[in-house]
């Protein structure tokens, strides 16, 4: 069975990294594989172990995203496809979903797996847009995933408790960060990753018109940035490893009349 | 600037979150505020929307859309936007609504802004406000055209009944896509194991994945016991089976507003934050100095839970005993 995993390259420690000139996330620093997507890669590898087949990771991002894809390859994915194009910069949900859908159409996998959310965007929405473009069934927030004969079964949490859902393959599924414990790449995996096929596509190669991606293809805009509303004073203490901070917590609670 | 609001329902009631968005929609200046209800046996609930500002409720009431699944709802909403030309479509955040909103964005090539905490008209344009990057910055966002789609963070507004009367109820039909009907709900909304209520506790001690293993919840339980409080958990540990769903705090769990909330080994994702930000005092213990939870803690303790919690429990007991 062929499984595609959509993974995102995100800035390391995403907080407070807005570039005030461009009003965008400052992506100049170091980046990494979105931690939530390690769960998606892990789940795909688990299913491959069970059923055999191929795991291909797919991403839209800057050239530097190739490093993040290599981490997925080191974990055990077979192949990576990165769409990287200046004209794709600034792609919002509508544009990103279009680009990914085009690549996924070309790959025609039996299953497409997404992570829970981007650590930089907290969107937790992309899969439903991609599934609509692919005209495939979608199931989100999967906490447990089992494959049947040409179908999948998912247990997932909503506001009211747990649902059990079934969908025929091919399908799109987004997994919760509790679904598994992602493996660490082994040394052998890291060495081997360099030799695995890594393809980089421009928008044209993926079959996407330039005006449907990037700033031009996006339907949302960022107008301005402001500091968050002030919150009461916040105090910070660091423990030296001995647990001595416990006394300071007690003093704080006493001061607030909470003891 | 006609507005359509997705009205989610549960047990024959339109959700409080959806009614709150309807209330907000009614303040945007255009009296043409409509709702849409999709489900089986939902027609009776439509009239609830009138008091909250809806002049019209589109209702798709049939057994084929009984399960709370997003894709048939995308079909229904896309049809309504195309036929009636709604310029803005608003959603209260939920597992269902997020998937409906994103599917609709792709279907209509429409802009979707998410996690909004406010929406207002500025110089004739709609502008949304969204906290980003662990809420360390507030971003004003817009749309390049219509329809504009928006998903609001849970708890951003309260519903408020107005003098509104009975809304016009308009039945909706139309074909649903084959792929939209492919997912089946085998079992719906099954809440596992009941537990003590955490909503009324003055003190809540919550544990997350940083505890390392299920057995370490003992550290949280002992501290809660010493402080006379209740035990809560994050979705990550509930989904992993470490703790019951009834103890979960956050978007898909409970909302608590105790006098004191202690977060142990919790990263502080926004979906967790929306369930506990109303606490008077928040104390967080996390070994990662950059954990997002520290952005909204009154006392940020950079420490290992295994070192600090047992000592803290002991000191609290001594103090209370003496
Ligand atoms: C639609 C949707 C709904 C959701 N609903 C909810 C919800 O209702 N409630 C909820 O909680 N989440 C919810 N989530 C999930 C949420 O996004 C996070 O994934 C989840 O809250 C993370 O749980 P955590 O903090 O326990 O785990 P993690 O994010 O893994 O954080 C663990 C933390 O522990 C720290 N740590 C590790 N070891 C130690 C140690 N020894 N000492 C101290 N600290 C340590 C780490 O630094 C880390 O910050 C939802 C997500 C989505 C997409
Ligand atoms: N640029 C991207 N390329 C590939 N996959 C992505 C991209 N952005 C987001 N994803 C996937 O979509 C999920 C949700 O991301 P988001 O909706 O941005 O929070 C992530 O966990 C990834 O699986």
B287 lines ligand 1 (CB under 6 A): yes
> What backbone torsions phi and psi does residue A159 show, to the nearest 5 degrees?
-65, -15
CB distance A11 to ligand 2 below 6 Å? no
pLDDT at A228: 83
Does position B219 have pLDDT exceeding 60, yes or no?
yes
Structural domains of chain A, ranges and CATH numbers in brackets:
2-217 (3.40.50.620)
Q: Which pLDDT does position A180 carry in this prediction?
A: 96
Distance in Å, CA A225 to ligand 1 centroid: 27
DSSP string, B258-275: -SEEEEES----HHHHTT
Ligand 1 and B274: CB distance under 6 A: no
Task: Flag whether pLDDT at A191 surpasses 60.
Answer: yes
Contact between A57 and A7 (Cβ < 8 Å): yes
Question: With contact defined as beta carbons under 8 Å apart, do A231 and B297 qualify?
Answer: no
Q: What is the CA radius of gyration of chain A?
A: 21
Q: What is the pLDDT of residue B68?
A: 96
- Shortest distance between the Cα of A196 and any Cα of chain B, in A, equals 33
How many Å apart are CA A123 and CA A115, to the nearest integer? 11
Would the pLDDT of A19 be above 80?
Answer: no
Pairing of strands A171-175, A138-147: parallel
**B109: which strand partners?**
none
From residue A116, how far is each of A66, A113, A130, A174, B95 by CA, in Å? 21, 10, 14, 6, 12
Which residue do the tokens 């500002």 mark? B53
pLDDT at B76: 98
- Give how far A46 is from chain B: nearest CA, Å: 17
Direct distance between the N- and C-terminal alpha carbons of chain B, in angstroms, rounded to an integer: 65
Q: Which atom of ligand 1 is nearest to the CA of B291?
A: 49
Query: How many whole angstroms from A157 Cα to the centroid of ligand 1?
Result: 15
Q: With a CB-CB cutoff of 8 Å, which residues 55-114 of chain A face chain B? A: 92-94, 97-98
Domains observed in chain B? 3-181 (3.40.50.620), 203-320 (3.40.50.1220)
> Would you give the DSSP letter of residue A178?
T
Cβ of A97 less than 6 Å from ligand 2: no
Option in A128, A222, A249 nearest B102 (CB): A128
A-B contacts at Cβ under 8 angstroms: 294
Residue B196 CB neighbours (<10 A):
11
- Compute the distance between CA of residue A154 and CA of residue A150 in angstroms, rounded to an integer: 14
Q: Relative to the CA of B234, which ligand 1 atom is closest?
A: 11
SS3 of A117, please?
A: coil
Residue A34 pLDDT grade (very low, low, confident, very high; cuts 50, 70, 90): very high
Please answer whether residues A125 and A93 qualify as being in contact, where contact means their C-beta atoms are separated by less than 8 angstroms: yes
B142 touching chain A per CB within 8 A? yes
Whether A44 contacts A152, CB under 8 Å: no
Number of separate helices (H) and strands (E) present in chain A: 8, 15
Answer whether B70 sits within 8 Å of A123, measured CB to CB: no
Distance from CA of A192 to the nearest CA of B (A): 31
The answer to ipTM > 0.85 is: yes
- Banded pLDDT at B137 (limits 50, 70, 90): confident
Average model confidence (pLDDT) for chain B? Answer: 94
Token pair belonging to A211 = 């005006």
Asked if residue B67 has pLDDT above 70, the reply is: yes
Nearest residue to B270 (alpha-carbon basis) of B106, B191, B155, B129: B155
The per-residue pLDDT for range B287-318, each reduced to its tens digit, is: 999 999 998 999 999 999 999 999 999 999 99
Position A36 pLDDT exceeds 90? yes
Note the ligand closest to the C-alpha atom of A100.
2
**A247 at interface of B, judged by CB pairs closer than 8 A:** yes
Q: Which residue in the set A166, A179, A235 is minimally distant from B184, CB to CB?
A: A166
Q: Helix/strand/coil (H, E, C) string of A162-173?
A: EEEEEEECCEEE
β-pairing, A138-147 with A151-158? antiparallel
Q: How many Å apart are CA A45 and CA A37, to the nearest integer? A: 12
Across the strands, what pairs with A209?
A: none
In which band, very low, low, confident or very high, does the pLDDT at A121 lie, cut at 50, 70 and 90?
confident
Tokens representing B274 are 């929306």
**Rounded Cα gap, residues A162 and B190, in angstroms:** 5
| DSSP state at residue A30 | -
> Cα separation of A201 and A193, whole Å?
19
Would you say the CB of residue B305 lies under 6 angstroms from ligand 1? Answer: yes
Distance between CA A238 and CA A245 in Å, rounded? Answer: 7
Question: Which residue from B131, B32, B45 is spatially nearest to B84, judged by alpha carbons?
Answer: B32
Is it the case that residue B211 has pLDDT exceeding 60?
A: yes
Q: Is the CB of B237 under 6 A from ligand 1?
A: yes
**Rounded distance between C-alpha atoms, residue A218 and residue A36, angstroms:** 24
Beta-carbon contacts of B267 under 8 Å, excluding residues fewer than 6 positions away, are B208, B209, B210, B286, B288, B291, B292, B293
Are B308 and A243 inside 8 Å of each other by CB? Answer: yes
pLDDT greater at residue B181 or residue B320: B181
**Residues B310-321: tens digit of each pLDDT:** 999 999 999 988
Helix axes B95-108, B70-84, angle to 10 degrees: 50
Contacts of B245 in chain A (CB under 8 A): 157, 161-162
CA distance B57 to B74: 16
Strand (E) or helix (H) holding B151: strand B148-152
HEC string of B179-238?
A: HHHCCEEEEEEECCCCCCCCCCCCEEEEECHHHCCHHHHHHHHHHHHHHCCEEEECHHHH
Distances (CA, A) of B178 to A11, A137, B209, B265: 39, 9, 40, 44
The reply to whether ligand 2 has any atom less than 6 angstroms from the CB of A59 is yes
Beta strands B203-207 and B230-233 are: parallel
Is residue A128 in contact with ligand 2, taking CB distance under 6 Å?
no
The residue of chain A with its CA nearest to that of B322 is A259
What does chain B come to in residues? 322
pLDDT exceeds cutoff 60 at A16: no
Ligand 2 center–CA A31 separation, angstroms? 15
pLDDT at A120 over 90: no
Is the model's pLDDT at A26 over the cut of 80?
Answer: no
Residue A15 confidence (pLDDT) above 60: no
C-alpha to C-alpha distance for B68 and B5, rounded to whole angstroms: 17
Sheet holding B260-264, edge to edge: A235-238, B299-302, B281-286, B260-264, B203-207, B230-233
Cis peptide bond prior to B183, omega within 30° of 0: no
CB atoms within 10 A of CB A36: 24
CB of B179 within 8 Å of a chain A CB? The answer is yes
């Amino acid at each position: 069975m062929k499984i595609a995993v959509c993974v995102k390259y995100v800035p390391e420690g995403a907080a407070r990294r807005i570039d005030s000139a461009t009003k965008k996330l400052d992506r100049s620093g170091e980046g990494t594989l979105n931690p939530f997507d390690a769960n998606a890669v892990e789940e795909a590898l688990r299913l491959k172990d069970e059923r055999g087949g191929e795991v291909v990771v797919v991403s839209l991002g800057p050239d530097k995203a190739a490093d993040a894809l290599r981490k997925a390859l080191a974990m055990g994915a077979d192949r990576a496809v990165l769409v990287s194009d200046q004209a794709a910069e600034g792609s919002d949900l509508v544009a990103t979903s279009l680009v990914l859908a085009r690549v996924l159409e070309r790959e025609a996998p039996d299953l497409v797996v997404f992570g829970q959310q981007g650590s930089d965007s907290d969107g937790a929405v992309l899969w439903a847009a991609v599934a609509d473009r692919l005209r495939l069934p979608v199931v989100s927030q999967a906490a447990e995933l089992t494959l049947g004969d040409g179908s999948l079964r998912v247990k997932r949490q909503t506001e009211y408790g747990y649902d059990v859902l079934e969908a025929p393959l091919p399908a799109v599924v987004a997994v919760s960060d509790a679904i598994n414990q992602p493996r660490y790449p082994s040394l052998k995996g890291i060495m081997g990753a360099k030799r695995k096929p890594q393809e980089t596509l421009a928008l044209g190669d993926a079959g996407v018109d330039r005006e449907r991606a990037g700033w031009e293809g996006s339907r949302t805009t960022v107008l301005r940035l402001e500091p968050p509303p002030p919150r009461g004073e916040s105090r910070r203490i660091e423990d030296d490893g001995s647990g001595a901070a416990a006394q300071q917590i007690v003093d704080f609670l006493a001061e607030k009349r909470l003891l | 600037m006609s507005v359509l609001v997705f009205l989610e329902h549960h047990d024959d009631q339109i959700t409080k979150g959806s009614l709150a968005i309807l209330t907000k929609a009614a303040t945007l200046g255009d009296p043409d505020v409509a709702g849409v209800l999709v489900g089986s046996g939902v027609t009776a609930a439509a009239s609830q929307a009138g008091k909250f500002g809806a002049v019209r409720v589109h209702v798709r009431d049939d057994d084929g859309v009984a399960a709370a699944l997003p894709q048939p709802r995308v079909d229904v909403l896309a049809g309504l936007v195309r036929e009636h030309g709604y310029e803005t479509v608003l959603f209260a955040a939920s597992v269902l609504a997020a998937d409906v909103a994103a599917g609709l964005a792709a279907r209509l090539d429409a802009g979707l802004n998410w996690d909004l905490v406010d929406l207002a008209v500025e110089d004739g344009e709609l502008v949304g406000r969204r906290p980003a990057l662990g809420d360390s910055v507030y971003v004003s966002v817009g749309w390049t055209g219509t329809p504009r789609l928006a998903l609001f963070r849970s708890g951003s507004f309260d519903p408020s009944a107005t003098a509104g009367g009975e809304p016009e109820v308009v039945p909706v039909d139309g074909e649903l896509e084959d792929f939209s009907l492919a997912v089946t709900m085998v079992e719906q909304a099954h809440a596992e194991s009941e537990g003590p209520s955490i909503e009324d506790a003055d003190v809540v001690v919550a544990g997350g994945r940083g505890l390392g293993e299920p057995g370490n919840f003992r550290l949280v339980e002992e501290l809660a016991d010493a402080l006379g409080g209740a035990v809560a958990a994050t979705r990550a540990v509930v989904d992993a089976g470490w703790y019951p769903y009834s103890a979960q705090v956050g978007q898909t769990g409970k909302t608590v507003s105790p006098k004191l909330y202690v977060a142990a080994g919790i990263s502080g994702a926004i979906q967790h934050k929306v369930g506990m930000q109303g606490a008077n005092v928040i104390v967080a213990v996390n070994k990662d100095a950059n954990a997002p939870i520290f952005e909204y803690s009154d006392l940020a303790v950079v420490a290992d839970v295994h070192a600090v919690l047992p000592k803290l429990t002991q000191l609290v007991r001594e103090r209370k005993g003496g």
